[in-house]
A and B are shown apart, each in its own frame.
Chain A
Amino acid sequence: MKTEKKSLNVPVNKQGLKKKRSFSRKAIYTLLILLTIISIVPFYMMIINATRENQAILGGFSFLPGSALIENYRTMMDYVNIWNGFKNSLIVSVSVTVLSGYFSALTAFGFAVYEFKGKNLLFIFMLLMMMVPGQLGLIGFYELNNAIGTLDTYIPLIVPAIASPFVVFFLRQYLSTTLHPSLLEAARMDGAGELKIFHTVALPIMMPAVATMSIFTFIGSWNNYIVPLVVLFSPEKYTLPVLMGFLKGSQVATNLGSMYLGIAISVVPIMIAFLFFSKYIISSISAGSIKG
């Protein structure tokens, strides 16, 4: 962006442009504000309707909040304990993020630092498998968990995170530019074991990259729907997305205010987190796409 701003002193036919520009700039800002409204309004309506009575929502459209928030909350909690789904989602997503971050760093370190037989072959194999969509193995995945008795537990949701090819790929690229062999040699001279070197030298260096990947791992796990839908059966174990589906099929669905409130509770924390992380997330998307 900076180069563009600098270049504005370019001599151009100003008189001809000025009038036209001020008019169309207005049009452009109107358009951008319209798109902003379209992006936000569904969430705004969700929050407004979460505070309105069912009758009022059925009766008509309003931009102003009502006073039935607590009532809606009670109705919803009578059928579905949404905080429980929240807790479950948090347990799963945090575990997934930690496992994926740690073991991907470990694997990336192994690939970046050591020479061993079959290394390139294994790496290429991993990259190829990265292209395979998740649904391909879904039936086999379900049957595997059925066979080893891990259906209706969090194991199929958490443990596979140890193998996250994309994160490994990203971290290995990162390590190859940031980790100097001299650092490792120095640590070895001090008599540190290889695993200790990983923990004290390599892992701290990788932390910024691990953090970037962690945001996406967390969001991906938090939003994952099809896998928990397939492997979980007990409503008290449902993660938030599955619980939302459950909510829709329950009696709460007849009370729109409570439905909106349930949706709002599932959405607002992510929106708040985004307020803090938005710059970070967006620059990561930009960076990722240019490399990709």
Chain B
Amino acid sequence: MKKLNHKGYYFIAPFFAIFLVFNIYPVLLTFYYTFTRYEGYGKPEFIGLENYTRILTDGYFLEAFINTWKIWGLNFALQLGIALFLAALFSDLRYRIKGIGFFRAVFYLPNLITISSVAILFNIMLDWQHGSINMFLMKIGLISDPINWLNEPATAQISVALILTWMWFGYTFIVLMAGVSGIPGELYEAALIDGANRWQTFVHITLPLLKPIMLYVMITSLIGGLQLFDLPMLITDGLGAPEGSLNTMVLYLYNQAFRYNNYGYAATIAYALFLITVIFSVVTFRSMYRTNAKKEG
């Protein structure tokens, strides 16, 4: 096996040919565009770092950045909270909850559905006057007047965050349960014998041992969340309204490129987004790792 065998190249050649053309080249081409003004026709005009100075002072980009974080943050806090709570319930020896297979499947269902269908479904269900959600809330007497969900910046952002939570809490729950099932049952037994209450068991056993898997959930969710596009695009017809509150970074990128033909600037947004993703992934990873190390040390 250790002999050099050039036949290996034949097997990996198709992959790398396509990878080079459809993956590496576009990434490099996009990088080149960040130094140009390019409107989709003619030749890109080299303008040095102009796009970079523009993005640093661009209020709309800052707004899109903040919106994206607000929506992701609220959604992630809720989604992780629900998933952790469920994981704590299902891992508790004293409850013996049945039907985990059923609940996992049902909670995961919303995640499987095409996000564009989800967006349009909620768009009509959240309608101010005729939406099922307002009608239902009024019927059960929870609200007396319809709420104009998608027309106020705050409720629009909350709505999108809640839709995301609805879509993702089941997935996060499944992943956390996978982590829980890796925790040795003896630990819980020992805690039970020692008379630890639920909260103590959760805080001192479940939570610390779930840390690596929570890190995985957080980083994958962060990477996906920073690329939030489908929901705001379809809910607002690409406008990011009301008052720009649903203008996310990728929606801004899409509009700059394919609505206003500012390919150069859109390319710069793409790289800024990439940089932000890398920085926050590293920060998340390091902060989780550090608190872990402290506790162990």
User: Which residues of A are at the interface with B, using a C-beta cutoff of 8 A?
Assistant: 1, 3-8, 10-12, 17, 21, 24-25, 28-29, 32, 35-36, 38-40, 42-43, 45-46, 49, 57-58, 60-61, 103-104, 106-107, 109-111, 113-117, 119, 122, 126, 129, 132-144, 156, 159-160, 162-163, 165, 168, 181, 194, 198, 219, 222-223, 225-226, 230, 240-242, 244-245, 247-249, 256, 259-260, 263, 266-267, 270-271, 274, 278-279, 281-282, 285-287, 289-290, 292
Contacts and interface: CB of A to CB of B under 8 A. Distances in A.
A95 to B, nearest CB: 14
- Interface size bracket, B side: 35 or more
Given A8-B93, A139-B270, A260-B124, A110 B22 contact: no
A159 B11 contact: no
Contacts of B178: 285-287, 289-290
Contacts of A29: 97
19 contacts: A3-B185, A10-B192, A29-B97, A32-B86, A61-B135, A103-B18, A107-B15, A113-B8, A114-B7, A122-B16, A135-B229, A139-B263, A139-B270, A159-B18, A198-B11, A223-B114, A223-B115, A260-B121, A267-B117
A35 B229 CA distance: 26
B1 A39 contact: no
Interface in B174-212: 174-175, 177-179, 181-182, 184-186, 188-189, 192-193
A35 B106 CA distance: 9
A135 B276 CA distance: 13
B170 interface: yes
Contact of B257 (A61, A139, A162, A219): A139
Nearest to B136: A61
Contacts of A42: 110, 121-122, 125, 166
A181 B273 CA distance: 44
Nearest to B171: A285
B234 to A, nearest CB: 6
Contacts of B184: 3
Nearest to A243: B116
A135 B18 contact: no
B292 interface: no
B257 A133 contact: no
A106 B15 contact: yes
Contact of B89 (A28, A57, A115, A245): A28
A159 B112 CA distance: 24
A103 B273 CA distance: 30
Contacts of A45: 125, 132
A177 B107 CA distance: 33
Interface in B28-43: 28-31, 33
A104 B234 CA distance: 33
Interface in B209-239: 213, 216-217, 223, 227, 229-230, 233-234, 237
A19 B170 CA distance: 30
B133 to A, nearest CB: 9
B100 interface: yes
B267 A132 contact: no
B107 A35 contact: yes
A171 B171 CA distance: 23
Nearest to A165: B19
Contacts of A7: 93, 185-186, 188-189
- Nearest 10 pairs between A and B by C-beta? A110-B11, A114-B8, A140-B26, A140-B29, A3-B185, A137-B26, A286-B178, A163-B19, A61-B135, A140-B30
B104 interface: yes
Given A140-B30, A274-B112, A289-B216, A249 B4 contact: no
Interface in B96-123: 96-97, 100-101, 103-110, 112-117, 120-123
A144 B115 contact: no
Nearest to B96: A8
Interface string B221-265: 001000101100110010000000000001001100110000100
